Structure 1
Amino acid sequence: MASIEERISKAGTKSWRVAWREGGTRSGTRDGETCYDRRTAKRFKGLVEANGDRRPEGYPKGCHGMGTGERPAPQAEPTDSAPAVPTLTAVVEAYLAQNMKADARQIADYRRLYVNHVQAAIVTLPDGRRVGPLGGLPVDELDGDTIQAWVNWMRGRTYAYRGQKRHYSPKTIHNVHGAVIAPALAYALRKGLITADPCADVQLPQKPARTVSLDQVPTGEEIQQWIAIAYKASLLAGDIVSIAMGTGLRWAEITALRPCDIDLERRLLTVAGAIKEDDKSRRLYRAEYGKSATALRTIRIPASLIMVFARRTRGLDRKALIFRGARGGILSSSSWSHIHWKKVMKLAQEQATVETDPTLHKFRHAHATSLLAANVSLDTVSKRLGHKSITVTSNLYSHLSPEADQRAVDVVDQVMTGKPQTA
């Protein structure tokens, strides 16, 4: 961490020395910069820390922080009466500290998003000026142009994936903006640190429309056939496919289930967490939160799954995972794909009795489409799936229910003609 040391010359002039070691390590090379007012020193310190305890880009030695580079006369020394405006990093930390809706692990995820994608960003404004790192800027210097420039910067970034470069998806940009930038700046607005919301008119990239096609979603008799094939592959495969179909849970929710989440007497299942992966270590862990606030939910268990859960939970500690990997740890998606699902697909090809070519997630879709085909309300389906809003459910599945559309047409015909429609 950088430090600020106040100094007084023989002539009585004050200065503030910002000092740090490169990379923030004890063995890092010493560096420093002298500033001639405290506000500049604090601001420059924020830039250094936002850049990973390194000299910020565009600030060579002798730049005197961000001042004019000239030592002011003693009588021009500014006063310290005005409080310093906090940096974006300080505001984000303050926002995260008061966020009572998220647990410690989720706060850590938000902080990781900020550090990886915002804190050290140096962006180009419409007039060609480059500003940043954003984490070190006083929060009142951030405006709509700055946030829009960050969006454009993110769209141009790439990351390595299996030896290839990929651009960050619109979904990632939405996630970082919606989970960290926008709520932190809204917090700054509530606290009176800024006078307007810089995110108000920001244009985020359009996310591809998400709809589900029936081509790869099992329906009707194929559902029973796929479950039978899965049980031939392995008991674990059969149980997981059955649960995915019977509850509509996501993979991360199924593998996070514990006996304490299952109430067999009342036939209730509580989604109380999900399996996540740490971006840096790639380690799997069970988080006490889901994909969204509505992902944590309690739903009814169909009678056909009671025996499955009774067998899976028998003799287990209440907080042990129901599904575990070969070594007793968390069951990873790669183990599932290579050991279990691969066998399921091979048996399906050998039997040649099914036409669809699904993934496990398609059984979540099969759960939803089966309910909609039986005239279960969209609101009920949305709550069972744990969608963020009913709009998400409608966009994904409403086109797969032609019966509902036909009923709508019948109502319109009746209004226009005055004649009741016959079945």
Structure 2
Amino acid sequence: MAGARRRQAGEGGISEYQTKAGPRFLIKYAAQRADGTKRVVLKRGFRTRREAAAVLRAEIRKTEMGEWVEPSKQRLDAYLAEWIATQRLSPSTVSSYRKNIRLHINPYLGVQPFARLTGPMVDAWMRELEVSGRADGTGGLSARTVRYVFTILRAALSDAVRQGRLSVNPTDRATPPSPSDARPPEMQAWTAPELARFLRWADADDRDLAMCWRLLAASGMRRGEALALRWRDVDLDAARIAVRRSVGVVKEKDAGQQLVEGPTKTGQSRVVDLDAGTVVALRAYRAARAQVSGDLVRDSALVLGGVDGAHRHPDRFSRRFGAQVVRARKALGEELLPWIRLHDLRHTHATLLLADGVPVKVVSERLGHANATITLTVYQHVHPGMGREAAERFAALLDG
């Protein structure tokens, strides 16, 4: 092009070419492979010479600093299959990653060479998921799900950068749904009278299930932790339980599903003290199960297992709670018992304790949170009233 400065050796070059959409520019430069050989790199499609020049300068700098990475021709779906096979994650997490890759990444981006992914391509993919990403074809995915799938892709491509297979992570140049857009469903919790009302009704309806709900509400355990609890973890004389493991559902395409035990969510065990009423209920529950079969109360037996001694299925366990809540609301009056999910028994446990002035550190340890900051963040809605009470107590100390 007239007036353009002739580039020196090692500076690369920029050329203009014509397309149906108008003029475009390509860059050309030499780079050294990992084995020491050199290759000439061409990149096309730049809309302006300025844009092409900026990219060329960046690429030349990478070659000078030894940071240039030869673009891989491997497809994204092949790379993700290779990546997931190397991840040291819990079986349930690996199963979830595989499912989301299969349903929400590969059908949209899988055929692309992963080295050619760009931020705009990732953005377009997420917008498509939001509009029509449901596997059953009934609409789009929630912002929370889209952000979750995005984090899977980001983690995989971050590993590619760390391994020297990508120079930059295209997800760094994309805009996923914000944390506020992807916030979880609003937390629900029963008051103490509501919880007591439900437990009394459930005990009359199905004593076996009532013990399940009472233990969850009294301990703050996660569902998987409760379903993995064994009698050797229970010390009724000391009124405490040891939470050491969790059970989850692992699903694989064409291979069905299985229940797998693993560590707790944080990987740490904890001890949770129980109230006297729950200990009395557990003694009665154990005695009733012993009458069915001595095998159900052996040290290795599951506390909340089925009558066959096997794990209860976590998803079906949650559905049984939901069904009981529906029946309880009809029997007791919907205005006396708001709808909650099974996981909300854990929220109820924490909320009642915090509202009653139990230190956050104590509640955090009972819940098995990695640190008290998580407890403060999750249950910040409880804190304003507690703060006012603390201020009033301080004033009372001064007045005294």
- Is the TM-score greater than 0.5? yes
In the other structure, the counterpart of 1:106 is: 93
Letter matched to residue 301 of structure 1:
D
1:155 aligns with 2:143: no
Displacement, 1:384?
3.3
In the other structure, the counterpart of 1:225 is: 197
Letter matched to residue 385 of structure 2:
E
Q: SS at 1:288's partner residue?
A: strand
CA contact (8 A) 1:284 1:330 kept: no
Aligned residue among 70, 75, 92 for 2:80 = 92
Aligned residue among 182, 196, 204 for 2:154 = 182
In the other structure, the counterpart of 2:388 is: 406
Q: SS at 2:138's partner residue?
A: strand
Displacement, 1:323?
3.0
Residues 189 and 379 of structure 1: is their aligned pair in 2 closer, same or farther, counting only changes over 3 Å?
Answer: farther
- Mapping 1:139-154, distance limit 5 Å: 139-154=114-129
CA distance in 2, matches of 1:184, 1:194: 11
Q: TM-score, normalised by structure 1?
A: 0.61
Identity %: 23
Moved more, 265-274 or 327-336: 327-336
CA contact (8 A) 1:211 1:396 kept: no
CA contact (8 A) 1:255 1:275 kept: no
In the other structure, the counterpart of 2:103 is: 116
Residues 108 and 300 of structure 1: is their aligned pair in 2 closer, same or farther, counting only changes over 3 Å?
Answer: same
Q: TM-score, normalised by structure 2?
A: 0.64
Q: 1:94-134 deviations in whole A, cap 9, x for unaligned?
A: 4333322x14453233222212211231xxxxxxxxxxxx3
* Number of equivalent positions: 318
- Mapping 1:318-337, distance limit 5 Å: 320-324=301-305, 330-332=311-313
Letter matched to residue 357 of structure 1:
P
Q: 1:56-114 deviations in whole A, cap 9, x for unaligned?
A: xxxxxxxxxxxxxxxxxxxxxxxxxx8955433343234333322x1445323322221
In the other structure, the counterpart of 2:144 is: 171
In the other structure, the counterpart of 2:167 is: 195
CA distance in 1, matches of 2:256, 2:378: 31
Displacement, 1:198?
1.7
CA contact (8 A) 2:329 2:336 kept: no
In the other structure, the counterpart of 1:138 is: 113
More helix by share: 2
Displacement, 1:363?
2.4
Q: Unaligned stretches of 5+ in structure 2?
A: 1-69
CA contact (8 A) 2:219 2:366 kept: yes
Residues 285 and 299 of structure 1: is their aligned pair in 2 closer, same or farther, counting only changes over 3 Å?
Answer: farther
Q: SS at 2:153's partner residue?
A: helix
CA distance in 1, matches of 2:254, 2:339: 30
CA distance in 2, matches of 1:368, 1:398: 11
Moved more, 297-306 or 348-357: 348-357
CA distance in 1, matches of 2:255, 2:210: 28
Letter matched to residue 258 of structure 1:
R
